[in-house]
Chains A and B, each alone.
Chain A
Amino acid sequence: MTNHYIDFRNADYILIIGCNPAENHPISFKWITEAVARGAKIINVDPRFTKTSSKAHVYARIRSGTDIAFIGGMIYWVIQDMEAHPENYNMDYVKNYTNAALIVNSGIKLPNDIGQNGVFSGFNPTTNKYDKATWQYGNTTTPETDTTLQNPYCVFQLMKKHYSRYTTDKVSQITGCPKDQIEAIYKEFAKSGAKDKAGTLLYAMGATQHTYGSQNIRAYSILQSLLGNMGIAGGGINALRGTSNVQGSTDQALLWQYLPGYLPVPVDTDADLNAFMTRAKGAPATPKGLAWDKSINWKGNYDKYIVSLLKAWYGENATKDNSFCFDYLPKAKTGANYSHIALMDAIGRGTIEGLWIWGQNPAAGGPNSNGARTALANLKWMVSADLWINETAEFWRRPGVNPADIQTEVIVLPAAGSYEKEGSISNSGRWVQWRYKAVNSPGEAMPDLEAMNLVMEKLRELYEADTSAPNREAITKLAWDYGEEITSDNVAKEMNGYDLTAKKLAASFIATLKNDGTTSSGNWLHCGQYPEEGKNLAKRRDPVDVSLNKIGLYSNWSWSWPVNRRIIYNRAAVDFDGKPWDSNRPLVQWDAANKKWLGDVIDGGGDPINIAAVGDKRGPIIMNNDGVANMWGRALADGPLPEAYEPWESPITNLMSGQQIDPCSYISTYMNERGTVDKYPYVGTTYRCTDHWQTGIMTRNLPWLNELSPNMYVEIGEDLANSLVPRIEKGDKVKVSSARGSIEAIAVVTKRFQGIQVNGTTIHHVGVLWHWGYSGLSKGDSGNILTPNVGDANTTIPESKTFLCNISKV
Chain B
Amino acid sequence: MEISRRDFLKASGAGLGGIIIWRALGSDKKGFPKDITLKKEAIGETPTICCYCSVGCGAVVAASEDKNLVVNLEGDPDHPINQGSLCPKGQALLQINNVDGKINPYRLTKPLYRAPGASDFTEISWDDAIERIAARVKETRDRTFIKTDSNGKTVNRTEAIGSFGGGELDNEECYILSKMDRALGLVYMEHCARL
Contact = CB atoms under 8 A, between A and B. Distances in A.
B25 interface: no
Contact of A330 (B62, B68, B168, B182): B182
Given A254-B174, A360-B164, A414-B108, A439 B97 contact: yes
Contacts of B115: 409
A409 B114 CA distance: 6
Interface in A217-256: 240-256
A436 B159 contact: no
Tell which of A333, A431, A541, A701 has the most Cβ of chain B within 10 Å: A541
Nearest to B62: A438
A244 B50 contact: yes
Contact of A698 (B9, B48, B51, B188): B51
Contact of B193 (A254, A331, A343, A413): A254
Contacts of A251: 171, 174
B33 interface: no
Nearest to B80: A554
Interface in A298-335: 313, 327-333
B113 A411 contact: yes
A380 B155 contact: no
A388 B107 contact: yes
A255 B67 contact: no
A245 B134 contact: no
Given A359-B168, A471-B185, A413 B111 contact: yes
B147 A471 contact: yes
Nearest to B86: A27
A447 B80 contact: no
Contact of A433 (B49, B89, B109, B194): B49
A743 interface: no
Contacts of B70: 419, 438-439
B96 to A, nearest CB: 5
| B contact patch SS | mixed
Given A6-B81, A243-B167, A387 B108 contact: yes
Contact of A254 (B78, B113, B134, B165): B165
Interface string A185-207: 00000000000000000000100
Sorting the interface of chain A by its residue count into under 10, 10 to 19, 20 to 34 or 35 or more gives 35 or more
Contacts of B89: 690-693, 699, 705
B3 interface: no
A554 B83 CA distance: 13
A488 B83 CA distance: 27
B88 A448 contact: no
Greatest chain B CB density within 10 A among A339, A491, A552 is at A491
A420 interface: yes
B46 A243 contact: no
B96 A246 contact: no
Nearest to A545: B80
Contact of A491 (B48, B91, B175, B190): B175
B170 A343 contact: no
Interface residues of B, number: 122
Interface string A395-428: 0110000011111111111110111111111111
Contact of B188 (A209, A250, A346, A557): A346
B87 to A, nearest CB: 4
B170 A330 contact: no
Interface string A358-394: 1110100111000000000000110101111100000
A245 B164 contact: no
Given A268-B155, A360-B191, A27 B87 contact: yes
B79 A421 contact: no
Interface in A435-485: 435-440, 442-449, 451-456, 458-459, 461-463, 466, 469-471, 474-475, 478, 480, 482
B126 A27 contact: no
B191 A407 contact: no
A417 B96 contact: yes
Given A254-B178, A414-B107, A26 B87 contact: yes
B61 A439 contact: yes
A785 interface: no
Interface stretch (B16-24, B34-42, B137-145): B137-145
A251 B95 CA distance: 30
Contact of A252 (B68, B97, B119, B178): B178
A115 interface: no
Contacts of B120: 397
Contacts of A332: 157, 187
Interface string B66-83: 011110000000111111
B76 to A, nearest CB: 9
B188 A701 contact: no
Contact of B55 (A245, A249, A427, A451): A427
A255, A418, A552, A699 — which one has the most chain B CB atoms within 10 A of its CB?
A418
Nearest to B56: A427
A330 B174 contact: no
* Top 6 A-B residue pairs of the complex, sorted by shortest distance between their CB atoms: A443-B109, A423-B170, A427-B56, A358-B165, A359-B166, A246-B167
Given A254-B177, A355-B164, A426-B171, 17 more contacts: A27-B82, A30-B83, A246-B167, A246-B191, A268-B149, A268-B153, A330-B156, A332-B187, A351-B159, A354-B160, A410-B112, A415-B108, A417-B97, A419-B46, A427-B56, A690-B89, A699-B92
19 contacts: A242-B53, A338-B187, A342-B188, A343-B188, A354-B162, A355-B162, A358-B165, A403-B119, A410-B114, A411-B111, A411-B129, A412-B113, A419-B46, A420-B97, A444-B109, A449-B172, A456-B180, A543-B80, A798-B195
Interface of B: 6, 9, 44, 46-58, 61-64, 67-70, 78-83, 85-93, 95-97, 99, 103-104, 106-121, 124, 126, 129-138, 140, 142, 144-145, 147, 149, 151, 153-180, 182-195
